[in-house]
Structure formats: structure tokens, C-alpha cells
Amino acid sequence: MSELLPCPFCGSQDTDPAFSRGYAKGDMTQPVIAAGCMSCGASGADVPVPDHSTGYEQAAEAWNRRHVPEGWQCVPVAATREMVEAAHAEYEGEAYLPNGLYRAMIQAAPKPGGGDDRT
């Protein structure tokens, strides 16, 4: 079975290939499973399966496709107050160039699920 990559949102390694089991939207006869993160609750795509005891490999593959590449980070669509304040603090400092503001906002961005490993 494919090993699940860490959660792209919180970075947790605590992932489960059968995180959720249910039925396809609009088709209560089609079982689906999805891999997901036990730490923040993020879920991968629903994968149609013959029954709920199969399809772990496909669920793992679907999960792994959403992995965030090294050097990338998920951030909120709208800047949070903390991100704006970080940019403002950076602007008041000596480094007010766009790269400095961007870096400050990225570092202040919350992690989905509430994890926080800012440096």
C-alpha cells in the first residue's frame, strides 16, 4: 500500500487511509472512502469502492496527490489580522520591500486545523 504523505495543511504524520467511510453524494448505493488527517480533520477526495473494506490504496493515492511540495505552504485566501499586523510591523522596520512583507505574512499565516509551528 502507498504510504500516506504528511497532511498538507498541518504537517501531521497521523493520517488514515480510511479516515472517512460513507456514500457518494446523490447515490446512497455507492460506498466511498477517503484518507484523512487525524490531527486536523482534513479529508482527501472520496474514492468510490465496491465496499467499505477495500479501496485503501486508491484513497491513499488520492490523498498523496494533494501533498504540498517542499518549499510551499497553504495559506488562507484572505489575510488574517495576524498576517496584516505582521506585514505592518515589517513595514515599520527597516525591511519594507515586498519580499519582506510577503515573508512576514506567510510566517504569520495560521495552519489549517489550528496547528502552529511558526518560527
Q: Note the residues at the interface with Zn ion (CB under 5 A).
A: 7, 9-10, 12, 37, 39-40, 42, 113
In the complex with Zn ion, the residue whose CB is nearer, 9 or 19, is: 9
**Nearest CB to Zn ion, comparing residues 39 and 105:** 39
Look up residue 106 and give its three cell numbers.
506567510
Is 66 or 103 the residue whose CB approaches Zn ion more closely? 66
Residues 9 and 74: beta-carbon distance below 8 Å: yes
Sequence-distant (6+) residues with CB within 8 A of 29 are 23
Q: How far is it, in rounded angstroms, from Cα 27 to Cα 87?
A: 47
Q: Provide the CB-side half-sphere exposure for 48 (13 A, CA).
A: 7
Alpha-carbon span 26 to 42, nearest angstrom: 22
- Of 6 and 100, nearer to Zn ion (C-beta) is 6
Provide, rounded to whole angstroms, the least separation between the CB of residue 41 and Zn ion.
Answer: 7
